[in-house]
Amino acid sequence: MNNSLNNNNSKVKLNNSKGNKNIIIITIILLLSLTFLILFIVFTNNNQENNNNNNNNKEENNKPLTELEKKLIELENINEKLDFFKEEYIDRYIEYKNNNPNLDLEKVIIYVNIGLDQEFYSKNYPSPNQNTNKVLTNKFYSLSKDYVPNNLETIDSNFSSGNKQMVKEAKEAFEQMAKDAKTEGYNIRAVSTYRSYQYQENLYSNYVKADGTEKADTYSARAGSSEHQTGLAVDVDNITLSYTSFGKTKEYEWMQQNAYKYGFILRYTKEAEFITGYKEEPWHYRYVGIEIATYIQNNPMTYEEYFVRFLDK
């Protein structure tokens, strides 16, 4: 009797075990089927999306380029690299590039922004950043007849030839520079600083009478276009020689190495004559502040180039 019951129980357990295994197998099959179904749906959607993207790309590629896009391609899309690229100048950029095929594209943009694709004095814009040490005054940007810089002060007579004035910040920087130079055995003296519009007008007029307009323009600024009117420019000598001989002095060498530490840059160099429009002037220094002067010292360039890169926004 007991043996019979045990056998029956064993059969029930065996049947239950088989049933459980069948359920597990069925469950696994269902899960696998569901997984494959999900994967199939995802794969199908991805293919459809890729096909749509490809079709869109084909349509985009087949879409004709605009005139602006063509011009930007001609300029190698340099607008994406330079934040001082001006879209309104794009035709000028292309023309200047074509006229100067060996010129680096970045230089093309800089030179056109300066205005070098046009004749000097052909445009006359108001000088930007007036009454700051960042003011730009040249053959494209000028000051008005009645412009007088704020805070003009007289330079210490120990470091100037007579009653010479500069804007307070520039005057103090110049005096400190001259004092430090003196300590090291060098004489730096201011011989020409602030000039009024009227003074420059008379000066330029006399040069034109003597040499003609074309020649005078190479060494003298027209009224309103002179940096001296900003109160930030200074012509220097070493007391013993004329300022026109300053480039031959030991003081000039000292200035080359130290002027930037006080915020001054040599404004008109031989290498930059085509940019500034003036012959080399080893005696003419311009106060721009220590930060800008240091940058230009470490990355030689004209103030025009610095201006279009960082200030003309």
Can you state the angle between helices 250-258 and 168-183, rounded to 10 degrees? 120
Q: Can you say whether the dihedral through the CA atoms of 124, 126, 128, 133 is positive or negative? A: positive
Residue for token pair 């430090």:
180
| 175, 227, 251, 281: the active-site residue | 281
281 is catalytic: yes
- Residue 13 has φ and ψ, to the nearest 5°, of -60, -40
Question: Residue 170 is encoded by which pair of tokens?
Answer: 């520039």
Distance CA 190, CA 175 (A): 9
DSSP state of 161: S
C-alpha–C-alpha distance, residues 281 and 266, integer Å: 8
Beta bridge partners of 264: 287
Q: Residue 259: how many CA atoms within 13 Å on its side-chain side?
A: 26
Is the distance from CB of 114 to CB of 277 less than 8 angstroms? Answer: no
Q: How far apart are CA 179 and CA 186, in angstroms?
A: 9
- DSSP string for residues in 29-52: HHHHHHHHHHHHHHHHHHHHHHHH
From CA 45, how far away is CA 43, in angstroms rounded?
Answer: 5
Please list the active-site residues: 281
